[in-house]
Structure formats: C-alpha cells, structure tokens
Chains A and B, each alone.
Chain A
Amino acid sequence: MKIQKRTIALCIYFGFLILPIYWMLNMSLRTNADILGNFALYPADMTFHNYVHIFTDHT
C-alpha cells in the first residue's frame, strides 16, 4: 500500500514535468489563428505547417 502511494505521487510529479513540454508541442502543431481562437487540450486538426515554415523560411 505504501509503495503504491509513492508511485502515485511520483506519477503526479512526472505529469507536472511533462505538461509544459506537451503544451509547447500542442502549440507547435496548430495554426496561429487556432491557438488564439479556441482553447484546446489537443490539436484537433493537426498541421506541420509551422515546422515546414521554420525550415524553409530564409529570413
């Protein structure tokens, strides 16, 4: 029982560690208008346009 409590606490901490990084990933897969327009926990229509943009934009 004690071991389980520890594991749960550890999992909560790891969630806290992962969430900001996940949120960044979530933002990277959405368009600007979508990010500012509606709050979503996961990208509904995923787009890789942002990645294409940073690798092809010469400026």
Chain B
Amino acid sequence: MEKWQNNKAWFLVLPAFVIVAFSAFIPLMTVVNYSIQDIFGPGEAIYVGTEWFEEMLSNYRLHDALWRQFLFSGLVLLIEIPLGILIALAMPKRGWGVSACLVILAMPLVIPWNVIGTIWIIFTRPDIGLFGVGINSLNILSDTFDHTARPLYAWITVLVMEVWHWTPLVALLCYAGLRAIPEAYYQAARIDGASSWATFFYIQLPKMRGVLTIAVLLRWMDSFLIYSEIFTLTGGGPGNTTTFLSIYLVKLATMQFDLGPAAAFSLIFFVIVLFFSFLFYQALLNGEKGEKI
C-alpha cells in the first residue's frame, strides 16, 4: 500500500485532541500530581512518592467503605435488573397505555439528584412522611422506623430510594429490547407450542442480552459512584454506616482537607471502577460469543 504524501488531515484531529486534553487528561494529571506530594500551602509542596497510596491502601475506613459499596452495588443490581425485566414484560404492547407507561416511568429520571434525596427525607420521616408513618402504623417493626437513628433502616431507605430512582431506566431499556424482537419469533414459538416460560428463556432473554449488558454496566457504574442522593438523605450516617466510597472521598478532601491522600484515593477509586466495568463487559461479551456456537 502506498503511503500518503499529504498528512495535513492530521490537523483535523487537533480540536478533538485539545478538548479531550482539557476535559480529561489535564484534570487527571492534576490529581496524579497531588497524589504524590504533601501540600502545606500555596507553593509549599514536598514530594512523598507512593506514601499516600500506601497509607490509603491500608486505611481501614477505606476498606469498610469499599465493602459497603460492593454490598450496595450488588444488591442494587440483584433487585433492579429482575424488577426492570418484569416491568418491561408487564407493560402493554400497543394502544394508549404505552405512552402513559413511558411517561410515568420517565418521571423519576428527570428529577435532579439532590431533589431525590430531599423527596425521600420527607417521604420517610417518621412524623410527617407517608412511608415512615405508614410503616410505623402497621406495628410490624420492633422499634420506630427512623433512618437517622438505625443503620438497618438507613440502608433500607437508601436502597428503596435507589431502586425507586433507577429501576425505570432498566425497565425502559428492557422494553426497547423486547419491542425490537420480530413478531416471527413469537409465531414460530406458538406453532411449536412453546410455553410462556420457554418463550421467555429461549427468545426474549437471549434477545435482550444487548440492552441488559448496557443496563448492568450503567447501573453498576452509577451505583458505585453514587453521591448526591445519599449525601442529601443520610449524609453517610448514622455513624459511618452509609458512608460509601464517594462520600468518604469528599469528607477526606473537603472537610479534613487531606488533599494528597484524597487524590491517591481518587486514583484507586478510578482504577477499581475501570477494572470492574472492563470485567463485566468482557464477561457479557464472551457469554454472547459462547451462545452463537
């Protein structure tokens, strides 16, 4: 193949390159810069090497926050993905009901995130909230439902809020996946006398693999990075029981002003998210290849 003599086309890449540099690369390098120095004040910084990384990796608070985060994200995926699929299956396929369902489903998705936190504070308060008052009036709990006092109730509140907020997204994605299945598949299934379970497992679920991959990835990353809603709702409390990674990071960086450790933490956090997203993506991609054989 002959080499191009005129390489001016490379200049067309320049704007994109500059934008990426300013929006991603330079901020990231600033964090890297902070993570290897001890900042005493403006112009006073001492090179400390990997000290912050070592300190952060052996920090038990970070370990606690990390396990909490894994538990939270795992529970979120376990609840939201099956629920989303069920909702998508139950939704009407034609008529006015479709648009009505889509509008109602889209509602939690268009509310600002810190407003979601505020809504759930009010909704679950044991004195004025419908959820709090309702669950207390049933008298099934041994003590009053109050997410500011009991870690378990704080967890339940945070999980219910997360499920309320993001299951519609999973449902919308699954619904789009279901609608894309040609009618011929269902006709063939009917001719073969397939049960509705068989139709689900051999037609609908495999055909939804693509959208489910996106749903799992999005929900995993977003729940791993969750900040605004939980900061508004519990502020990481009671104690540290709902202090997830990003909440602990902000405490470290803005309240204690430990910029070096916080920068090191950010980079560790970034690598964890990147690694798990890659892992999920590969697992789902390879599963797809295995199926085609």
Mark A residues whose CB is within 8 Å of B: 6-7, 9-10, 13-14, 16-21, 23-24, 27, 35-36, 39, 41
Contacts and interface: CB of A to CB of B under 8 A. Distances in A.
Contacts of B156: none
Contact of B107 (A6, A10, A21, A23): A21
A14 B122 contact: no
The 7 tightest CB contacts between A and B, nearest first, are A6-B90, A20-B123, A10-B90, A20-B119, A24-B119, A23-B123, A23-B130
Nearest to B133: A39
B128 A36 contact: yes
The secondary structure that dominates the A interface is helix
Nearest to B129: A23
Contact of B119 (A6, A7, A21, A36): A21
13 contacts: A9-B86, A10-B90, A14-B104, A17-B105, A17-B107, A17-B168, A19-B123, A19-B130, A19-B131, A21-B107, A21-B108, A21-B119, A24-B123
Contacts of A10: 87, 90-91, 101
Q: How large is the interface on B (under 10, 10 to 19, 20 to 34, 35 or more residues)?
A: 20 to 34
B90 A20 contact: no
B90 A9 contact: yes
A14 B171 CA distance: 12
A19 B107 CA distance: 12
Contacts of A39: 127-128, 133
A9 B128 CA distance: 27
Contacts of A36: 127-128
A16 B90 contact: no
A27 B122 contact: yes
Given A10-B87, A24-B122, A39-B133, A17 B108 contact: yes
B270 interface: no
Contact of A16 (B118, B127, B128, B164): B164
A45 to B, nearest CB: 17
